[in-house]
A and B are shown apart, each in its own frame.
Chain A
Amino acid sequence: MPDISPLLTGHLPAATAAYWPGGYWGHWAFYTTALITFALLMVMGAIYIERRLLGRMQSRLGPNRTGPFGLLQPVADALKVLIKEDIIPQPADRLVHWLAPVVAFVPVVMIFAVVPFQKGALLADLNIGILYVVAVSSLTTVGIFMAGWGSSNKYSLLGAMRNVAAVVSYEIPLVLSILGVVLIAGSLSLNEIVLAQDIPFIFLQPMGFLLFFMAACAEINRSPFDLMEADSEIVAGFHTEYSGMKFAMFYLVEYAEAIAMSAIISVLFLGGWRGPLLPPWLWFVIKVFAVFGFMVWTRATFPRVRIDQLMAFAWKFLLPLSLINLFVTAIQVLTIPDAPWLVFIINTAVMILLVIIWSGLFKVGWGRVEV
């Protein structure tokens, strides 16, 4: 049992494993356990927040029967889904069908390995952390495509194909909008990026934040880009044929992805664990839930886009804007590296101007119909 007192007091030694009781493996065991627990707990919190907040935004109450304020609703859901029958369709590819939830789930948990919770409090301080996140997070798509293929259901396959199309397209603006942050911070390590944020990068990179948020929403298939599980068109997409524990895994993946992306956004743009008064890890959790709440807000507001609109949005809006953003940021880093507020003003102006110019291309009916 490792000594967790430095974690509670907030004075952690460096992430290097040598300082830890139990050495390298003690460090590894503690953080692995802690991260999986953290991911599962955050998912339960996320499910609760999503259902309650969505309910209030739609003039409903949301679940409020189980426990105080319905706090035990995720527990009840989990128990229900655990004791349900596990059905595999007769024509399904059994091995792929069985393997898909695992393949989808593992990369999502792996994202948390490089997310810093405090100064130096992370499983692996990779010097290419953000590259690792980008690489690992898109692996989930493989699991989802396996689910769509293994179910032997045309709507599942359709949903999975849409997901692959979305991820392939949105990966590019996602990475390009990260690069602005990387340029300013001068490092790919998430720990270093947080340490570089004396001013949260959302001020220095407002457009980067906007583009990353939209691309991340599309990447993890949050509404309004939730085409792959569009209830009204293709039932539930890739997890139509899943029930019981496997369905629970996909449900977990959906929310763990959202939480992971919220964590990445809060690390890259909102200053990660940095904040006054409260302990760092609490700041981090608050920021993650704030970003997630913003995702719920957009989900409650916007209607779902069509697949052609999804593609057009990625290639005609996000890609050029993220390239321009990268170009502008690169010039700023070279010319005015020590004037953050000037950068803030310039970048905000550039963002407003570009969004207004580019959104002129996205009228209702592509400008053919005046409404």
Chain B
Amino acid sequence: MKFEHFGLGLLKGMTVTFRHIFRHPTVNQYPYQRLNVSRRIRGNELVWDKKRCTGCATCAKACPQGAIEIVTGANPVENRYEVRTYRVDTGYCIQCGLCVESCPYDAIFMGYAYERAKYRRRDLVQENDTLLESKERPKSGYFHPEVAAGLPAQTLLVEKIVERKD
């Protein structure tokens, strides 16, 4: 005789909800608490390594959105071929990561930051030195395990979240 058919199921359900009162809430109060995101996150912006880039434009060819524009030219003074403009319209970017995977010289990375929204559309078009790595724009470990090794481990919602101190 199954007592689930005789009212016991209701009591079981009520014990489940009662136990949830004492459970850690699986909630992230975002601006005040934040989780460490995945080390392989494909964040808002690209990070460009100026020194390694040869201007081969493989990334621009790989980009399905055509969001990357590269202007190259010869530098007669220093007698070398150089990148004059590296321009990314992050408004078009779909964070597919194909440019990062296609780069033969590991000169472009996905960004680790995800709070890089802008108020103006024109701010989304970034070029040259604004694309470089900085404290606000760290590299993500996407397609680059050696970068991922240096990033903090991802925290999950089920883990205890520490309130941000500010």
Interface residues of A (CB under 8 A from B): 53, 55-61, 297-298, 300-302, 355-356, 359-360, 363-364
Contacts and interface: CB of A to CB of B under 8 A. Distances in A.
A60 B21 contact: no
A56 B26 CA distance: 10
Interface residues of B, number: 17
4 closest Cβ contacts across the A-B interface? A57-B17, A301-B17, A356-B6, A301-B13
A297 B26 contact: no
B6 A58 contact: no
A43 to B, nearest CB: 23
A300 B6 contact: no
Contact of A59 (B3, B18, B23, B29): B23
A57 B6 contact: no
B16 A301 contact: yes
29 contacts: A53-B21, A55-B25, A56-B20, A56-B21, A56-B25, A57-B20, A57-B21, A58-B20, A59-B23, A59-B25, A59-B27, A60-B25, A60-B27, A61-B27, A61-B29, A297-B14, A297-B17, A297-B18, A301-B10, A301-B14, A301-B16, A301-B17, A302-B10, A356-B7, A359-B5, A359-B6, A359-B7, A360-B5, A364-B5
Contacts of A301: 10, 13-14, 16-17
Contacts of B14: 297-298, 301
Interface of B: 3, 5-7, 10, 13-14, 16-18, 20-21, 23, 25-27, 29
Contacts of B21: 53, 56-57
B157 to A, nearest CB: 10
A302 B17 CA distance: 10
Contacts of B23: 59
Nearest to A55: B25
Contacts of B10: 301-302
A360 B6 contact: yes
Contacts of B20: 56-59
Contacts of B27: 59-61
Contacts of B29: 61
A248 B155 CA distance: 41
Contacts of A300: 17
B160 to A, nearest CB: 14
B6 A59 contact: no
Given A59-B20, A61-B27, A297-B18, A363 B5 contact: yes
B76 to A, nearest CB: 62
Contact of A61 (B5, B6, B25): B25
A145 B23 CA distance: 41
Given A56-B25, A298-B14, 17 more contacts: A55-B25, A56-B20, A57-B17, A57-B20, A57-B21, A58-B20, A59-B23, A59-B25, A61-B27, A297-B17, A301-B10, A301-B14, A302-B13, A359-B5, A359-B6, A359-B7, A363-B5
Contacts of A360: 5-6
**Residue among B5, B16, B18, B20 with most chain A CB within 10 A:** B5
**Residue among B10, B17, B27 with most chain A CB within 10 A:** B17
Nearest to B158: A59
A356 B1 CA distance: 11
Contacts of B3: 356
A47 to B, nearest CB: 18
Nearest to B24: A59
A115 to B, nearest CB: 28
Contacts of A55: 25
Nearest to A299: B17
Nearest to A65: B29
Nearest to A56: B21
Given A58-B20, A297-B14, A355 B6 contact: yes
